[in-house]
Structure 1
Amino acid sequence: MHIQLSDGCLVYANKRVTGLPTLFLHGGPGYWSGSFEQLAGPILEKTRTMIYLDQRGCGRSQHAPSSTYRYDRLLTDMEEVRRFFGFHKWSVFGHSFGGLLAFLYALQYPNRVDSLILCNTTLYMAESLTYQLKYGSNLLGKTVNPPTQTSLLVKHFQDTIIQLREAGNWERIQFQHTAHAKRLEQADDRPDNQSDHRFQQAFLHSDLFAIDYRKRTTEFVKPVLILAGKHDHAIGPHHYQRFSFPNQQIALLDCGHHPYAEDVASFYKDIEQFSSVKL
């Protein structure tokens, strides 16, 4: 279904009603929740009321003025979606860049968040892109010294991604075993997956990019499950080690960036164990 937000933008937020309300936030920036909904939904929906939100400008949601592609507006969108469904509080599940949004939402609306699940999440975008640039360059047989200036780092990163795609190596950033990439590719190959390319550009060049939010993880005291892929070369396999949530549980998965398409059994087991302990 689509929900009209206070500024008129229509966002897609599909709700499957079964139990604990859980908002899913996709990564990217500029991806969508459709593939997660298809691959992970059938099992998660057995115990949770899943809300799959396509952020404004992403996937099945309406494209919006680029001036509204800001993290503060996205946090407002999330809060408006919560009020629309009438939840007093919910669990927030973020993957990749979506985990950063989940954490920022929890900081701004702590009384509305029951728990966090952060899956292969970056809380410092500049560091994750620097790691990905180095790893990708190595796959191309190159050695780089990543620039610290944001605009130059983003340009080098984007140039490297293009070269990796041309060389057929892009999947090695995202997956431990590239055979798993087919599952995600098939789930993404839908006509309603229509993200606005301006969304990603807005966030790669925003102030959000350069801030290390790991320093603020001590501020959120409710339960946090950290799912980290041992072979996640999109975020960096050790990025999570500087998370310092007071009530955190860490689960290491034998996968790359998309555990719901790779290490599926462990992915579900760790989430359900976390849910049982928390409840």
Structure 2
Amino acid sequence: MKNLFLVLLFITAGFSAKSEEKRITTSDGVELYVKIEGKGTPCLYIHGGPGSGSYWFEKFFGDFMEENFTMIYLDQRGVGRSGSAANNDYSLERMALDFEEVRKALGFNDWLTLGHSFGGILQMGYAEKFPKAQKGMMMINCTLSLKDSFCKSWAPKASEFLGKEYSGCEQDSLPMMERMGMLGSQLREKDLFWKMAYSEKENEAIMNATWEEIENWNYDLGNAALAYDEYWKSYFEMTKSVDIPVLFFYGTTDWMVGPDHYKNVTFPNMLLWKSEVGHVPFLENTNDLEKAILNFNKKYNFFIQ
């Protein structure tokens, strides 16, 4: 197949990048929004959601990251400022190929990735398809099994906030997606959804307002991704064989992923970091997140001298 993606910028590891916004077209014709800013080791931000976009992380935590890394902010296909797939391909294999095509377009031999939430599954899919592309992974409040997060934390805690008791996924008469939608709607009706991720109600509004700052936000990935069975696969077992350095940062009040989710994560080369925070540390506990990232990168010598 003819290579359609545009080589818009060539940056070798260690070169200081000035702020640039780019459009990179993938091999299947999807135009991706990419912003490069900062200096130092290249680091791709892999946002969660699915469909949350890269803007909020850049807005609330970008200054710190750009002081230490050449940051690549990518809105994934079907998200935010990026285009959608004409063939409606939002598979994990295609997402991993997007990351790889962006890396090659930008001229990096390899890079770090930093994932948030659902982004952890994307990082694992990327590691599975392109094991040499990532020199290390920073996983911030990441789930590596949607089913585990939902059954052991999301559904029980949402039910508790609603004054109910959850019998568990094995006894549930509804499919997970239907139960998730029902509980989510009930939480929103009672204005309680913020408790799943935040310590303060106003912080949910602050985060949600970032989407309003981007015109014509693209929601296609968010509407499509969870229909793919591969996103519901557990990646716990795979962690045993991924030997690149990993920062696994988790929150003690993160009910979206689960405060005990880390117990199933067994990367052999891992810095495990416990933090007193909910699901969004880059807004609610930036000091601890900065400390974790600095310690991880100093430990594994990722900072360019």
Q: CA RMSD in A?
A: 1.8
- Tell me the TM-score normalized by structure 2: 0.86
Contact 2:29/2:85 (<8 A) preserved: no
Residue by residue over 1:17-64, the C-alpha shift from the partner in whole angstroms, topping out at 9 and shown as x without a partner, is: 401100001101121110001111111100100001111001111122
Task: Name the SS of the counterpart of 2:101 in structure 1.
Answer: helix
Relative to structure 1, the CA distance from residue 40 to residue 66 in structure 2 (aligned partners, 3 Å threshold; closer, same or farther) is farther
- Tell me the TM-score normalized by structure 1: 0.94
How many angstroms does 1:228 deviate by?
0.4
Matched, 1:174 2:180: no
Question: Which residue does 1:71 correspond to in 2?
Answer: 92
How many angstroms does 1:150 deviate by?
11
Q: Which amino acid is the alignment partner of residue 188 of structure 1? A: W
2:294 to 265, 272, 275: 272
Q: Which amino acid is the alignment partner of residue 122 of structure 1? A: T
Contact 2:49/2:117 (<8 A) preserved: yes
Contact 2:24/2:31 (<8 A) preserved: yes
Question: Which residue does 1:204 correspond to in 2?
Answer: 226
Q: Structure 1: how far apart are the matches of 2:45 and 2:173?
A: 28
Residue by residue over 1:98-118, the C-alpha shift from the partner in whole angstroms, topping out at 9 and shown as x without a partner, is: 111112212221211110000
Q: Structure 2: how far apart are the matches of 1:150 and 1:39?
A: 40
Contact 1:116/1:224 (<8 A) preserved: yes
Q: Structure 2: how far apart are the matches of 1:253 and 1:144?
A: 27
Relative to structure 1, the CA distance from residue 74 to residue 150 in structure 2 (aligned partners, 3 Å threshold; closer, same or farther) is farther
Task: Name the SS of the counterpart of 2:185 in structure 1.
Answer: helix
1:12 to 33, 37, 49: 33
How many angstroms does 1:137 deviate by?
1.3
Comparing 8-17 and 172-181, the one that deviates more: 172-181
Task: Name the SS of the counterpart of 1:111 in structure 2.
Answer: coil
2:66 to 45, 63, 73: 45
Question: Which residue does 1:145 correspond to in 2?
Answer: 167
Relative to structure 1, the CA distance from residue 178 to residue 85 in structure 2 (aligned partners, 3 Å threshold; closer, same or farther) is same
Q: Which amino acid is the alignment partner of residue 63 of structure 2? A: P
Question: Which residue does 1:157 correspond to in 2?
Answer: 180
Relative to structure 1, the CA distance from residue 258 to residue 21 in structure 2 (aligned partners, 3 Å threshold; closer, same or farther) is same
How many angstroms does 1:133 deviate by?
1.6
Relative to structure 1, the CA distance from residue 195 to residue 142 in structure 2 (aligned partners, 3 Å threshold; closer, same or farther) is farther
1:88-127 equivalences in 2 (<5 Å): 88-127=109-148
Alignment gaps of 5+ in structure 1? none
Contact 2:38/2:65 (<8 A) preserved: no
Task: Name the SS of the counterpart of 2:67 in structure 1.
Answer: coil
1:227-242 equivalences in 2 (<5 Å): 227-242=249-264
Q: Structure 1: how far apart are the matches of 2:52 and 2:244?
A: 28
Residue by residue over 1:165-217, the C-alpha shift from the partner in whole angstroms, topping out at 9 and shown as x without a partner, is: 11010100011233433432343331336132x42343222212432111110
Q: Structure 1: how far apart are the matches of 2:214 and 2:173?
A: 34
Comparing 174-183 and 137-146, the one that deviates more: 174-183
Task: Name the SS of the counterpart of 1:31 in structure 2.
Answer: coil
Relative to structure 1, the CA distance from residue 154 to residue 43 in structure 2 (aligned partners, 3 Å threshold; closer, same or farther) is same
Q: Which amino acid is the alignment partner of residue 214 of structure 1? A: F
Q: Structure 2: how far apart are the matches of 1:150 and 1:51?
A: 43
Matched, 1:23 2:38: no
Q: Structure 1: how far apart are the matches of 2:126 and 2:93?
A: 9
Would you say how many aligned residue pairs link Structure 1 and Structure 2? Answer: 278
Q: Structure 1: how far apart are the matches of 2:25 and 2:37?
A: 19
Relative to structure 1, the CA distance from residue 109 to residue 156 in structure 2 (aligned partners, 3 Å threshold; closer, same or farther) is same
